[in-house]
Amino acid sequence: MSRQYTVAVVGATGAVGVEMIKVLERRNFPVGKLVLLASARSAGKTLPFKGELVTVEELTEDSFVGVDIALFSAGSGISRKFAPLAVKSGAVVVDNSSEFRMDPDVPLVVPEINGADVKLHKGILANPNCTTAITLMALNPLHQAFGVKRVIASSYQAVSGTGAQAIAELRSQVEAIAGGRPAEKSVYPHQIAFNVLPHIDSFLNNGYTKEEMKMQNEARRILHLPDFKASVTCVRVPVYRAHSIAVTAEFDRPVSVDEARKVLASAPGLELVDDPAKNSYPLPLYVAEKDDCQVGRIRIDCAFENGLAFWVAGDQLLKGAALNAVQIAELI
């Protein structure tokens, strides 16, 4: 019989935590015992796993005794405090927050791209930013073929990237407006229903947001390209689930649409959806709850030499978070 693991999910009741539990079950991860951890106010709730209900426990410093693998998705502060404690207890941590992503001692991994980096871990591995992961699923195969130099990108990010309260806020605003009532806001600085906000995460001194700089900084580590450049505008859109990114990429070598399509069609974890004559292109509505990302609208870029423009969409709760974390655990 193959080995069974004690797996902990930290932040089990959050949007990503719930997906992690589903992905562990769906991919038949060898879970001998599942430990669900969350804040004191969530302790005592139950969540389904393999036909049984598992009770959520309060996260404490002693929660990781006997745990083999700990999947964290409870924010940077929790990861900063508890991930080292989990490692001390003997667990390997896969962290979904931004806390360790730029730590040179922590591998930042997208399994289809740099899975071999898992071997370099010292107890903690990091999941990349969701928008970065989805973009790189399409960009990396093209990079392998043509050598990427720089990208200009705009993201169209779903409210579920902010969490469950943001989903509820969009829903209540849509219902309020449809009913002729004023839309109330608390999660975002402006109404999100029937609107788009060019503002995700906090602004930095260079005028970009933290979210926008993640694509350049994290891609450099994942692609092993220290000179990679990315100019990104991240936009929150009134979509419940799945992020989309419009990308213009410049490459070292000449590119063609036919070659690009061939490369993308054979890339793992990626589906080519590219038949504009039949109105066929990736849509967040149809990629939601799917493991694979989708890429389409592939064309030679008008402005860059050796440039390609394309559109990629993916479920940020899956490839952008829970699925990627479980895939890292599979490699461990």
Give the pLDDT confidence score for residue 151 in this predicted structure: 98
CA–CA distances in Å: residue 70 to residues 35, 95, 313, 327: 9, 8, 28, 13
pLDDT digits (tens, 9 = 90+) for 108-167: 999 999 999 999 999 999 999 999 999 999 999 999 999 999 999 999 999 998 988 999
- The CATH number for 113's domain is 3.40.50.720
- Say if residue 106 is in the same domain as residue 228: no
- Say if residue 112 is in the same domain as residue 138: no
Give the pLDDT confidence score for residue 2 in this predicted structure: 76
Long-range contact set of residues 290-297: C-beta below 8 Å, sequence gap at least 24:
290/315, 290/318, 291/315, 291/318, 291/319, 291/323, 292/319, 293/134, 293/137, 293/138, 293/269, 293/319, 294/270, 295/137, 295/138, 295/264, 295/270, 295/271, 296/272
- Say if residue 163 is in the same domain as residue 216: yes
Write the DSSP string, 17-84. Answer: HHHHHHHHHHTT--EEEEEEEE-TTTTT-EEEETTEEEEEEE--TTTTTT-SEEEE-S-HHHHHHHHH
Q: Is 13 exposed, middle or buried (0-12, 13-18, 19+ CB in 10 A)?
A: buried
- Say if residue 192 is in the same domain as residue 88: no
- Say if residue 294 is in the same domain as residue 149: yes
Question: Residue 308: which pLDDT band, with cuts at 50, 70 and 90?
Answer: very high
Mean pLDDT, rounded, for 175-191? 97
- Say if residue 52 is in the same domain as residue 70: yes
Mean pLDDT, rounded, for 80-93? 98
Number of domains making up the chain: 2
Give the pLDDT confidence score for residue 15 in this predicted structure: 87
- Say if residue 262 is in the same domain as residue 211: yes
Q: DSSP assignment, residue 184?
A: P
Write the DSSP string, 75-102. Answer: -HHHHHHHHHHHHHTTPEEEE-SSTTTT
Mean pLDDT, rounded, for 23-31? 97
Greater pLDDT, 15 or 250: 250
Catalytic member of 143, 234, 243, 293: 243
- Say if residue 180 is in the same domain as residue 152: yes
Give the pLDDT confidence score for residue 232 in this predicted structure: 98
Within 8 A by CB and 6+ apart from 88, the residues are none
Give the pLDDT confidence score for residue 163 in this predicted structure: 84
- Say if residue 14 is in the same domain as residue 115: yes
Kindly report the average pLDDT of the chain as a whole number: 97
- Asked if pLDDT for residue 1 goes beyond 60, the answer is no
pTM of the entire structure? 0.96
- Asked if pLDDT for residue 79 goes beyond 70, the answer is yes
- Say if residue 233 is in the same domain as residue 157: yes
Give the pLDDT confidence score for residue 41 in this predicted structure: 95
- Per the rule left: phi > 0, alpha: psi between -120 and 50, beta: everything else, 62 is alpha
- Say if residue 163 is in the same domain as residue 276: yes
Position 71: which residue type? L
Question: Residue 200: which pLDDT band, with cuts at 50, 70 and 90?
Answer: very high
149 contacts 252 by C-beta, under 8 angstroms: yes
Residue 243: active-site member? yes
Q: Which domain holds residue 155?
A: 132-316
Residue 121: active-site member? no
- Say if residue 221 is in the same domain as residue 142: yes
Give the pLDDT confidence score for residue 313 in this predicted structure: 98
Give the pLDDT confidence score for residue 164 in this predicted structure: 81
pLDDT digits (tens, 9 = 90+) for 204-246: 999 999 999 999 999 999 999 999 999 999 999 999 999 999 9
Q: Is 217 exposed, middle or buried (0-12, 13-18, 19+ CB in 10 A)?
A: middle
- The CATH number for 190's domain is 3.30.360.10
Give the pLDDT confidence score for residue 157 in this predicted structure: 98
